[in-house]
Amino acid sequence: MDTKIKQEQESVSDMKQSNIESLETLGPYIAEQDNSKNFVYVSNIPQLCKDEPCMLGVDEAGRGPVLGPMVYGIAFCPLSKKDILKTLGFADSKQLTEEKRDQIFDEMNRKDFAKEALGWAVEPISPNVISMSMLRRTKHSLNEVSMDSAIGLINAAIEAGVNIAEVYVDTVGPPEKYQAKLQAIFPKFKITVAKKADSTYPIVSAASIAAKVTRDHALKVWKFRERSNEQENSFGSGYPGDPTTKKFLGEIDLVFGFPRLVRFSWSTAGNALEKKAYDMEVEDEGDAKDAQKASYGSEKLSKYFAASKNENRKRHDYFRDRCLEHVTDI
């Protein structure tokens, strides 16, 4: 087992964490949450962010993997303090190594100059919630799940007292439509939605790092309800092309399928289930009630008044013997 992961898992059992104040406290906080549900964490709000107009960035991590949560993140700081974003070295989180992302995340929560002017929030969206949203009768697409999370985090910042003036968002779908939607919801803010915003706007990069580091550590401390003896990351990065992830997806329970870590709404997971797992038939509630009625020998009264479509019904002898016919006109 990786030493870093082992140390983090050991620290989870040694402490209860109510706030995230550094990289070291991130894993223990996540481990206390129910990983079958979403949760929102909002950092301490610097007084400057309440007193001065702020910029706020929005980005996500883990949209594509077949395993684990998708995490949405926001970051905010006063317009007058945007230089601290450069000082901390914010850049597109995908272009940074894991070690560098961890370092920046730790510094944004430890350094006094950062804590005095920079805040952030995240929402890990459970793979269980993603799957149920996409597969329910009234389908809720991944784009809709994403937009709901982004809007919810912006509202969380507003409720916490952040004085928002400008919002920058890495787009989901066509940026023009997304921007128009957000502008209608938040008419007082200057809103910019753009492709690759995390590499263009440092405040979006800050949100990206908060989201990416949170997802990385959520996977490191993931607790399997279905596999209590699972002691380490045996599932890889979660991307379908990862050999370790492919191996993990091949280990299917023939009846129950995958653990909740897996987004079973993904075609990769669905195809694997179709090839190996048993076919299951779930009896519809209506069918079950009809079967129960039949077992008691009861039938609908209307059956005795309804003729079959192919039935040629004969008139009663009383009418035929007296040559009585239907009269339509007199």
Distances (CA, A) of 215 to 101, 199, 210: 12, 19, 9
Torsion angle, CA of 84/89/92/96, rounded to 10 degrees? -160
- Provide DSSP, 296-318: TT---GGGGT---TT--PPPPHH
* Binding positions: 59-60, 170
Distances (CA, A) of 263 to 50, 68, 129, 155, 173: 38, 7, 9, 27, 21
Which burial class, exposed, middle or buried, applies to 75 when counting CB atoms under 10 A from its CB (0-12, 13-18, 19+)? buried
* Binding positions for a divalent metal cation: 59-60, 170
Is the sign of the CA dihedral 218, 219, 220, 225 positive or negative?
positive
Cα three-residue angle 92-56-82, rounded to 5 degrees: 75
Structure tokens belonging to residue 81? 């303090």
